[in-house]
Amino acid sequence: MIRRRICGILSAVLAVMILGGCGGSTAGSPKTRYQATLMDLFDTVTTITGYAASEEEFRETVGKIQSEMTEYDHLYDIYTPYPDMVNLCTVNSRPGETLTVDERIIDLLLFAREIDEKSGHRVNAMLGSVLSLWHEAREAGIADPANARIPEAEALQEAAAHAGFQYLEIDAERRTVRLTDEKARLDVGALAKGYAAQRIAEGLPEGMLVNFGGNVVATGAKPDGSSWVIGVQDPDGGGEGYLKKIALQTGSVVTSGDYQRYYVAEGKTWHHIIDPETLMPGTRWRGVTVACADSGIGDALSTSLFLMDREEGEKLLAEFGAEAMWIAPDGTEFFSDGFRALIKD
């Protein structure tokens, strides 16, 4: 069963902004506020904000985060192999073989299989055969805009025939996995960073805010008891403006949007959130922000709701005790009842 944990404030890198300065000591508290930045983990920037009795203490926490995030980054990488490690790239490159893997890979894949079922297959970590075509087209289009193209419909349909968890064997007791279809591929991009962020956050001191490249995790209030304030970005603001401010002490805020990773081809903009039913980018919403206790679940819910109508999304939110904000293509904003209570005036 998916475990529901407290900890996490998630925002997509250019979708949710941490508001407020990075001042020094807090009134009535012996601790000082520090901030650090880590590069290139999960192909993004990680920003760590927290309070500590000394810079040395804070640096020790930063080192712990860096070490753990690097391990998760390498284990869940589907593009790059690493020496002396069986990671998801290894699994994808050796279909048909039964491979012994790290327990953290087993845990992620079990989580992914369950969330695939609960989301009505909107978040399918076994859609790699399809997503790889879009990834290749996006990379080529960004490198050569004049010749940018989208994948051929026939190629997408053929790839979809090799997608689904029926093509993945998981033996949790023996810690083995096997792709049973030669063309099946894993892609955990909708889950891995949020899942890893949540696992790491559970071992951090209280009162920290860590932005794992969009998966922002809060582990409790600031030393003076005040909340962290998160800004939900305006899809049309070019990274400058925000639509709402959310005040939270612990919890998860995750945004999926059509303005985060995209390219232009054939006169249109094509974003990265692919609907498993149509095999094309979803068009229902500009963005969906989910407030949830768990960053990994929040990742999955934000993607799921982006590909659902609001009524169906409300039902899924209720199952996890989560809340959401939707931004329609015309800019209209919709809120679940509980999300409104999080908005800071």
Backbone angles phi, psi at 170, to 5 degrees: -125, 120
| Least reliable range by pLDDT among 17-21, 76-80, 280-284 | 17-21
Please check whether residue 165 lies inside any domain of the structure: yes
The answer to whether residues 221 and 260 belong to one domain is yes
Per-residue pLDDT of 244-269, as tens digits, reads 999 989 988 888 999 878 999 999 99
Share above pLDDT 70 across residues of the chain, in percent, rounded to a whole number: 90
pLDDT of residue 240: 61
- Asked, for residue 264, whether it belongs to a domain, the answer is yes
Q: Quick one: pLDDT at residue 213?
A: 76
Per residue in 6-16, pLDDT (tens digit) is: 222 233 333 34
SS3 248: strand
Last residue of one domain, picked from the residues 131, 164, 179: 179
300 and 324 part of one domain: yes
Q: Which residue has the tokens 């490690």?
A: 85
Nearest by Cα to 129 from 316, 274, 338 = 274
**Is 115 inside any structural domain?**
yes
Residue 3 belongs to a domain = no
- Looking at the fold, whether 225 and 329 belong to one and the same domain comes out as yes
Crossing angle between the packed helical segments 192-201 and 55-75, to the nearest 10 degrees: 140
Q: Is the pLDDT of residue 235 over 90?
A: no
Q: Give a yes or no: residue 194 inside a domain.
A: no
State residue 234's pLDDT score.
Answer: 82
pLDDT, position 23: 42
Q: What is the pLDDT of residue 325?
A: 96
Q: Give me the CATH number covering residue 112.
A: 1.10.3980.10
Domain end (from 179, 200, 231): 179
287 part of a folded domain: yes
Q: What is the CATH number of the domain that holds 51?
A: 3.10.520.10
Tell me whether strands 262-265 and 250-257 are parallel, antiparallel or unpaired: unpaired
| 143 in the same domain as 94 | yes
Kindly tell me if the per-residue pLDDT of 241 is higher than 90.
no
pLDDT tier, 211 (very low <50, low <70, confident <90, very high otherwise): confident
Backbone angles phi, psi at 246, to 5 degrees: -120, 130
Q: Which has the higher per-residue pLDDT, 102 or 215?
A: 102
Of the residues 179, 200, 234, the one at which a domain ends = 179
pLDDT for 132 equals 97
pLDDT higher than 70, residue 21: no
- Regarding whether 215 and 122 lie in a shared domain, the answer is no
> Domain range spanning residue 301?
16-77+208-340
The arithmetic mean of pLDDT across residues 216-229, rounded, is: 92
Q: Is residue 186 part of a domain?
A: no
Confidence category of residue 212, pLDDT binned at 50, 70, 90: confident
Is it the case that residue 31 has pLDDT exceeding 50? yes
pLDDT at 44: 86
Q: Are residues 250 and 127 in the same domain?
A: no
Tokens of 35: 């901030």
Tell whether 230 and 275 lie within a shared domain.
yes
Specify burial of residue 55 (Cβ count, 10 A radius: 0-12, 13-18, 19+).
Answer: exposed
Q: Is 111 within 8 Å of 2 (Cβ atoms)? A: yes
Q: Check whether residue 101 and residue 250 sit in a common domain.
A: no
Q: What is the pLDDT of residues 40-92, one digit of tens each?
A: 888 888 999 999 999 999 999 999 999 999 999 999 999 999 999 999 999 99
Q: Domains in the chain: how many in total?
A: 2
Residue 129 has pLDDT above 80, yes or no: yes
Q: What is the pLDDT of residue 15?
A: 39
169 and 289 in a common domain: no
Check whether residue 53 and residue 146 sit in a common domain: no
Percent of the chain at pLDDT > 90 equals 77
pLDDT digits (tens, 9 = 90+) for 175-206: 999 999 999 999 999 999 999 999 999 999 99
Domain-embedded: residue 102: yes
| Owner of token pair 């009505």 | 120
239: pLDDT strictly greater than 80: no
Average pLDDT in the chain:
89
pLDDT in tens, 92-122: 999 999 999 999 999 999 999 999 999 999 9
Does residue 116 sit in the same domain as residue 31? no
Helices marked H in the chain: 55-75, 88-93, 103-118, 128-143, 153-160, 192-201, 295-306, 310-320, 337-340
Stretch 201-226: mean pLDDT, rounded?
89
Q: Are residues 121 and 260 in the same domain?
A: no
pLDDT at 166: 98
State how beta strands 333-335 and 323-327 pair: antiparallel
